[in-house]
Structure 1
Amino acid sequence: MTRTSVGRFTSEEARTKFLAAYDRAMDLWPGPRRELDFETGYGTVHVHHYGAPTGEPIVLLHGHAGHASNWYPQISALGEHHPVYAVDTLDDPGRSVQRAVATGPAENAAWLGEVLAALGPERVHLVGASYGGWLALNQAVHAPEGLASVTALDPGGIDKVPARFYAHLIGGLFGMLAPRRLRPALGRLLANPALGSPPEMLAPLMLGMRTYRPNTRPPVQPFTDRELSSIRLPALVLLGRRSALVRAHRARERVAGLIPGVRAEIVPQAGHGLNLERPDVVNGHLLRFIASCG
């Protein structure tokens, strides 16, 4: 499969309805926060900013079909001593507007590199979850300049996507149709924390699935051994013990054997969305790791 067009909403009415739900979801963040737009060669990238006025910035990249509100359990903790920027990635429903197709790893590193350069600081700590984790590691491989460290939470690209991941997605879709009172229990059963998340966060996810048509996105291909071995930044990889995307022990062995000096940890009692399931554990890992990079 190749990418042939940019993503779009099915109608302007659908886009308006989605953005209203998106704005309500962003109220889960603490305040005050700023919203910024940066022009890149691939479109306008929307960024939310919160946190301390000084300190090395932390830049957050959400997973596929997600958006910046998905980081709400991290914002207060990370923003206490760091400026925090959460990016609406191109190719996903949100306030970013894609105008050109990013066809592969180099192109994705290019648009993200333009955003990081526009933020201004010399060094940032880049953190991504799922597809955002792939983007973060991809940046460390192809355009590491300006990065102080890289963190990937249950990232794509470490192994081939297993069939159970697609079953997990389908189970999550059916779970969202269940009565609201049953969703938290289903979320624990399926290791799908989104089902137990606040309804404000779920609403734009569900609207995006129904009314946003992404471009033809090829499956994320695993990084080669050579690519992972080329990473020379401080790196942290956190994996969910119950993840549907990665085989946690196998993934830990691979990154530990290839990325020099990487900290690779398995988070118990967590699935693919570990930053939502175990926020205190994830926040602790992130803050200790970032402090060690100073």
Structure 2
Amino acid sequence: MSERNVDTARRGGGMAKIYKSESGARKVRERYEELLGEWPVPAEHQRIPTREGETFVVVSGPQDAPPLLLLHGSGANTTMWRDEITSWAQHFRTYAVDIIGEAGASAPSRPPLDSNRLALWLDDVLESLGLETFSVVAASLGGWVALDYAVRRPGRITRLALLCPGGIGAQKMGWLPLALCLRFFGRRGVRQTTRIATGLDTKLTEQVLDDVVLTFTQYKPRTERLPIFSDDALRHLTMPMLVIVGARDVMLDSAVTAERVRHCVPNATVHVLPEVGHAILGQADPVLNFLVDEPQPQPPLTR
């Protein structure tokens, strides 16, 4: 993807809205292009006009395979799926969407979360892609977007896999005072804050951590709280659903997420990973098993 094309994709409001500087935006964009160049399976890039500005989508997998929509988390982009896409694209036509207002190649528009505008934006994307019904894998903020769409557009999502989804358990704020103190230590402080927020603390994830630090050194994340879905809204989710959360998540209350999903969603399977934080990696196989409808054991409810 050329720099000119990425710039075109970002015209819907100006990069200054979501980055601290033009030079910072350029650094993030250049790294994004590098990672797109390492996409491990054949792909096509689509740029879709929507009411919120242009949306960038990476499409992979057989044209006649069932459709699978991928929605990344806050401060991320399509390339968060590069370790899973080889597995999933063997079975599905995958559509990895850069959510608007995030650190990808879509427009910087950030419609309020307490409105229907993100659902209307996704309507535009899906109409252009020709998708009526589809499965979804989504993480964090993307999980909130997927849940919001499922509640507003019942029947369109056939299977829903969520990693550390927002909007079910409350956002945690206890880690923020330490993060504010660490800001004064420059890049080293940002790196430590990122370790705390994501839970990425092993050498196996050093490159992932480097990329997150690069983004959040230059990027201005959303500051509004994620609206919480009511029990009644969750009870209306009738599709098969997989929810995977990390017990050590410092950003979202994963215990409440697990409890509410088990209590409210009739067709849900919940996995709580005991030693994992907010960033959930290495789940390609469990998610694929769920998507292709292989049996999943339901962990017992613990209190």
TM-score range, shorter chain: 0.7 to 0.9
Q: Which residue among 80, 85, 99 is the counterpart of 1:70?
A: 80
Residues 80-134 of structure 1 show CA distances to partners (whole Å, capped at 9, x for unaligned) of 1111111111111221013573453411111112212221133211111111111
**Aligned equivalents of 2:206, 2:63: Cα separation in 1:** 29
**Aligned equivalents of 1:202, 1:160: Cα separation in 2:** 25
In the TM superposition, what are the counterparts of 1:88-237 in structure 2 within 5 Å? 88-99=98-109, 101-102=111-112, 104-166=114-176, 177=188, 187=195, 191-192=199-200, 197=205, 199=207, 201=208, 205-213=212-220, 217-237=223-243
Query: Normalising to structure 2: TM-score of the pair?
Result: 0.79
Range that drifts further, 98-107 or 48-57: 98-107
Tell me: CA distance 1:25–1:172, structure 2 relative to 1, closer, same or farther (3 Å).
farther
Residues 30-80 of structure 1 show CA distances to partners (whole Å, capped at 9, x for unaligned) of 032111111111111111112233321211111111111111221111111
Tell me: CA distance 1:78–1:187, structure 2 relative to 1, closer, same or farther (3 Å).
same
Aligned residue in 2 for 1:289 = 290
Q: CA deviation at 1:162?
A: 1.5
- Corresponding letter in the other structure for 2:188: L
Secondary structure of the corresponding residue to residue 177 of structure 1:
helix
**Aligned equivalents of 1:169, 1:61: Cα separation in 2:** 27
Looking at both structures, which has the greater relative contact order when contacts are Cα pairs under 8 Å and sequence separation is at least 6?
1
Q: Which residue among 271, 278, 303 is the counterpart of 1:272?
A: 278
> Is the 2:195–2:209 contact (alpha carbons within 8 Å) kept by the matching residues of 1?
no
Secondary structure of the corresponding residue to residue 137 of structure 2:
strand
Secondary structure of the corresponding residue to residue 208 of structure 1:
helix
Aligned residue in 1 for 2:263 = 257
- Unaligned 5+ runs, structure 1: none
Range that drifts further, 154-163 or 142-151: 142-151
Q: How many residues align?
A: 278
Range that drifts further, 24-33 or 40-49: 24-33
- Unaligned 5+ runs, structure 2: 1-12, 295-303
Query: Normalising to structure 1: TM-score of the pair?
Result: 0.81
Paired-residue identity, %: 27
**Aligned equivalents of 1:264, 1:103: Cα separation in 2:** 25
- Corresponding letter in the other structure for 1:218: E
Tell me: CA distance 1:127–1:171, structure 2 relative to 1, closer, same or farther (3 Å).
farther
Secondary structure of the corresponding residue to residue 98 of structure 1:
coil
Q: Which residue among 24, 28, 32 is the counterpart of 1:22?
A: 32
